[in-house]
Chains A and B, each alone.
Chain A
Amino acid sequence: MQQTINGLALGSTYALLGVGVTLVWGVLGILNFAHAQILTWGSFAALAALHLGVPVPLAILVGMVAAGVLSVLLDLAVLAPLRARKAPEFSFVVATIGVSLVLTTILRTYTDAQTEAFPRQGFPVGAFEVAGQNVPRLQVVMLAIAIVAMAGLAFWLNRTRSGRAVRAVAHNRETAELLGVNSQLVFSICFFVAGGLAAVAGIFVAASAAQVSYSSGDGLLLVAFAVIILGGMGSVKGAIVGGLVLGVIEVYATSYVSSVFREIIAFATILAVLVARPSGFFGKKEAARV
């Protein structure tokens, strides 16, 4: 029981990560390999704000805006020119990997490759007891944020005029333009939202670890990809379920089998899902882009 709770707690982090990736990858079909670095930069922006004495909610907002802007800049400066020239998908992969290296290097230099303490004052830390089991507060908050973000995304995409425009752009950018949609604006909005959600995930990961470093995001990208593939490409609720399931799998595999599996769980999950059920739990599209 406690293991399942631990797994769900870990899964809450993963769900939050997945929700951030699902919009750009799952819906727009862009594999952004710099997502984890944007997440890390967002965490550092929040850390800088906390150091200035800014209250936690506002510091989270600062991190979100910083990561959102960085994410939009990545799209405008690197990806938009590739789209304009109808570059093959491979170019996007290489370009975002390049950007991720640049962002990592800048942050590593700036922090002297040191791990920084991340203050937890003001975050909901500690645990409460339910039926004799320990439930960590921070993870419950993360799950709540992930669910709210998911519900918000699903409502936006399915029920609003601008969300419909996002789906039209995702389906065919030229057609959407012919219908009067400013497709670049749609990309910018999606990248901003994805960056903001990445920052939230990064900040909470930093708060639960009480530390952050330039390499904090390493490994999280693979996890995010695993979550999306598990939940189903383009499915927003799939990101939550995929995240929780992956967390539980990871905790069980580490405690009942061996902790050496920890590192490869996400990878093994991607492989297993791609082989057994390429559309994931809720996906309509197959995850053919990996």
Chain B
Amino acid sequence: MLVVESLVTRYGAVEALHGVSLTVGTGEAVAIVGPNGAGKTTLLRTISGLVRPAAGTVEIDGRVMGRTAAHRIARLGVSHVPEGRAILSTLTVRDNLLMGGYRLPGGGVEERMAEMIDLFPVLGRKLDDLGGVLSGGEQQMLAIARGLMAKPRLLMIDEPSMGLAPRIVGDVLEALKRVVATGTAVLVAEQNAGLALEVADRAYVMVVGDVVTSGNSADLDENRLLETYLA
């Protein structure tokens, strides 16, 4: 459903992506792993329209995005849970979820919210709390739930484990596996390759703006390719 072809993104004179290509099939779980500064965040931000590419194309369901605004790309069924989670901290958990369902056509927002609370029961107990007072793990759950509210066909999530205690990382991992099990395609960007490979069927390894290798998660793991590149 997502085809990225030779994507080049620049920040002024600095080129952060040197021509990155990747694909995510319908319902597929794919990881982008790589060290800090590899360009993972830039790649996700370019796909979701927050940053304009200098060259190359992003194709969603066969449609080339060009200069499409971020809110239009979101409405095509792409949810981007950004690095740092971007909780609307001055809005309640309920309002965060309702905002997640902003682009859901017609009614159905309340029902979808009930489904999300089934998936993440901790949120159900905190609906009236401000997003800003949740713990890091709860905020990550909220960010994922909010991303799922609009029933996306592709969920992109940037560094879901960042800043979380190992036990909480386990919870987030479980949550992502549940998302994949619902048939939603997932594109996860992570420095924590172990976590990413557990969620994803395939992975791309990025180093300073290039994809240096890719393959099935199991193969990448076995061949210790990651250690070569991420050492």
User: Residues on A close to B: CB < 8 A?
Assistant: 161, 164-165, 167-168, 171-172, 174-183, 284
Give the contacting residue for A179; candidates B49, B69, B90, B100; CB below 8 A: B100
Once bound together, how far apart are the Cα atoms of A177 and B102, in whole Å?
11
Once bound together, how far apart are the Cα atoms of A180 and B102, in whole Å?
7
With both chains docked as a complex, state the minimum distance between the C-beta of B76 and any C-beta of chain A, in angstroms.
Answer: 10
Once bound together, how far apart are the Cα atoms of A181 and B50, in whole Å?
13
Once bound together, how far apart are the Cα atoms of A164 and B71, in whole Å?
16
By beta carbon, the residue of chain B nearest A184 is: B69
B100, B102, B146 pick with most chain A CB within 10 angstroms: B102
Q: Are A183 and B86 in contact (CB under 8 A)?
A: no
B48, B49, B86 pick with most chain A CB within 10 angstroms: B86
By beta carbon, the residue of chain B nearest A170 is: B90
A176 CB contacts on chain B under 8 angstroms: 71, 99
By beta carbon, the residue of chain A nearest B109 is: A161
Q: Give 18 pairs: A residue, B residue, CB < 8 Å, sorted on A.
A: A161-B98, A161-B102, A164-B91, A164-B95, A164-B98, A165-B99, A171-B91, A177-B49, A177-B70, A177-B71, A178-B74, A178-B79, A178-B86, A179-B100, A180-B150, A181-B71, A182-B69, A182-B71
Q: Are A171 and B89 in contact (CB under 8 A)?
A: yes
- Decide yes or no whether B178 CB sits under 8 A from chain A: no
B48 CB contacts on chain A under 8 angstroms: 178
B87-143 residues at the A interface, CB under 8 angstroms: 88-91, 95, 98-100, 102-103
Once bound together, how far apart are the Cα atoms of A168 and B69, in whole Å?
17
- Report how many A-B pairs have Cβ atoms within 8 Å: 68
Q: Give 1 or 0 for each of B57-76: 1 = CB within 8 Å of chain A CB.
A: 00000000000011100110
By beta carbon, the residue of chain A nearest B86 is: A175
By beta carbon, the residue of chain A nearest B103 is: A180
A172 CB contacts on chain B under 8 angstroms: 86, 88
Q: Are A178 and B70 in contact (CB under 8 A)?
A: yes
A174 CB contacts on chain B under 8 angstroms: 50, 70, 82, 86
Q: Are B89 and A179 in contact (CB under 8 A)?
A: no
Once bound together, how far apart are the Cα atoms of A180 and B150, in whole Å?
9
Q: Are B69 and A177 in contact (CB under 8 A)?
A: yes
Once bound together, how far apart are the Cα atoms of A171 and B80, in whole Å?
17
User: How many chain B residues have a CB neighbour from A under 8 Å?
Assistant: 24
A164, A177, A179 pick with most chain B CB within 10 angstroms: A179
With both chains docked as a complex, state the minimum distance between the C-beta of B155 and any C-beta of chain A, in angstroms.
Answer: 12
Q: Are B98 and A178 in contact (CB under 8 A)?
A: no
A182 CB contacts on chain B under 8 angstroms: 69, 71
Once bound together, how far apart are the Cα atoms of A176 and B96, in whole Å?
10
Q: Which 9 A-B pairs have the closest CB atoms?
A: A180-B103, A177-B70, A180-B74, A175-B86, A171-B88, A177-B71, A178-B80, A182-B71, A168-B99
Once bound together, how far apart are the Cα atoms of A165 and B90, in whole Å?
13
By beta carbon, the residue of chain B nearest A234 is: B90
Once bound together, how far apart are the Cα atoms of A177 and B99, in whole Å?
11
Once bound together, how far apart are the Cα atoms of A12 and B208, in whole Å?
60
Once bound together, how far apart are the Cα atoms of A166 and B224, in whole Å?
49
Q: Are B99 and A178 in contact (CB under 8 A)?
A: no
Q: In the complex, given contacts A171-B88, A172-B86, A179-B102, what are 4 additional A-B residue pairs having Cβ atoms less than 8 angstroms apart?
A: A167-B91, A177-B69, A177-B71, A179-B74
By beta carbon, the residue of chain A nearest B149 is: A179
Q: Are A175 and B82 in contact (CB under 8 A)?
A: yes
B91 CB contacts on chain A under 8 angstroms: 164, 167-168, 171
Q: Are A179 and B99 in contact (CB under 8 A)?
A: yes
By beta carbon, the residue of chain A nearest B85 is: A175
With both chains docked as a complex, state the minimum distance between the C-beta of A120 and any C-beta of chain B, in angstroms.
Answer: 44
Once bound together, how far apart are the Cα atoms of A178 and B83, in whole Å?
12
B190-216 residues at the A interface, CB under 8 angstroms: none
Q: Are A183 and B88 in contact (CB under 8 A)?
A: no
Q: Are A167 and B90 also in contact (CB < 8 A) when A175-B82, A177-B69, A178-B82 are?
A: yes
A165, A175, A176, A180 pick with most chain B CB within 10 angstroms: A180
With both chains docked as a complex, state the minimum distance between the C-beta of A258 and any C-beta of chain B, in angstroms.
Answer: 43
B86 CB contacts on chain A under 8 angstroms: 172, 174-175, 178
Once bound together, how far apart are the Cα atoms of A171 and B74, in whole Å?
18
Once bound together, how far apart are the Cα atoms of A177 and B86, in whole Å?
12
